Amino acid sequence: MPIELENVSFSYGINTPFEKKALNEVNLKINEGELWLFIGHTGSGKSTLLNTLNGLIIPNGKVTVDTLQTNNKNTNMKELRKKVGIIFQYPESQFFLPTIAEEILYAPKNFDVDLKKEEIKFYMDIVGLPYDYLNRSPFSLSGGEMRKVAIISVLSYNPKYIIFDEPTVGLDYSTRKSVFNTVKKLNNMGKTIILSTHWISEFLELKPLVAIMKNSNLIFKGKFDDFIKLDQNFLSEAGIIFDEKLELYKKALLKNDKLKDKIAML
């Protein structure tokens, strides 16, 4: 099993007055090539869960990525981090080098990857960033362009699993669409994608698997169409509200109407 979480629990600030449970007995299997959307209220535990997947957070229980177990002291953490790339929320806040080219070359060097020019161009094509940006300062870019650079710096060391923590937060409509296209291309290339978001309907076309977090618990995991059919109260208590597109899709799905596939492409 490529990624497996078994009885995963985690609390912040243990034995302090601020102790806070963030994950409670989570069990989940993620197979190679799948695309998972993690949804639920802010504070429900999504980021914490994503951070357990590359050893940034070592929880109780067991997290296994391919053959690597995150809480095993013999695990090569560098190998794990290279396998599981995380694109954090507001990743642009981590830029510190003078040019985009240097920024892109920084991460692969850490993983002993010698990035070739053609590879940089390949990744720029995937995210939709013009080549002549390479000599610009990251700080001269718009928010959406910065996000693209941050995505390239993770793609640059070719991780097998790619985690996006709210990749479209704070972006305008057209950049959200382009992040969506990047996710689609990467998934079509066979990458396993794990993504937390508040914008479910943007990913409808890809029919992702869905995981719902609520108060540190994983309360649903399954196929997109099973998620769509969930009880409305159950969903709204988890902070999930369907927009018009999801409602239309649900109606077509319940009537077994082929129109649903057209709606998904809208």
Q: Is residue 44 close enough to count as binding ligand ADP by CB under 6 A?
A: yes
Residues linked to residue 4 through DSSP beta bridges, in sequence order? 29, 64
Q: Minimum distance from CB of 50 to ligand ADP (Å)?
A: 8
- Between helices 143-155 and 117-127, what is the axis angle to 10°? 130
State which residue, 12 or 131, has the beta carbon closest to ligand ADP. 12
Q: Using the minimum distance from each CB to ligand ADP, give the nearer residue, 103 or 202.
A: 202
Q: Is 121 in the site for ligand ADP (CB under 6 A)?
A: no
The H or E element spanning position 138 is none
Instruction: Region of 136 please: left (phi>0), alpha (psi -120 to 50) or beta.
Output: beta
Binding residue for ligand ADP (CB under 6 A) from 28, 36, 48, 218?
48
Cβ(122)–Cβ(89) below 8 Å: no
Q: Does 167 bind ligand ADP (CB under 6 A)?
A: no
Query: CB-based burial of residue 56 (10 Å sphere; 0-12 exposed, 13-18 middle, 19+ buried)?
Result: middle
Is 162:194 a contact under the CB 8 Å cutoff? Answer: yes
Which residue's CB is nearer to ligand ADP, number 39 or number 115?
39
Piece of 46-54, 101-109, 112-120, 148-156 that binds ligand ADP (CB under 6 A): 46-54
- Decide if residue 109 touches ligand ADP (CB under 6 A): no
Which of residues 36, 45, 63, 120 is near ligand ADP by CB under 6 A? 45
Which of the residues 136 through 165 are near ligand ADP (CB under 6 A)? none
DSSP string, 9-56: EEEESTTSTT-EEEEEEEEEEE-TT-EEEEE-STTSSHHHHHHHTTTS
R_g over Cα of the chain: 19
- Using the rule CB under 6 A, give the single segment among 45-53, 92-100, 144-152, 154-162 that binds ligand ADP: 45-53
Binding site for ligand ADP (CB under 6 A): 12-13, 20, 22, 40, 42-48, 213
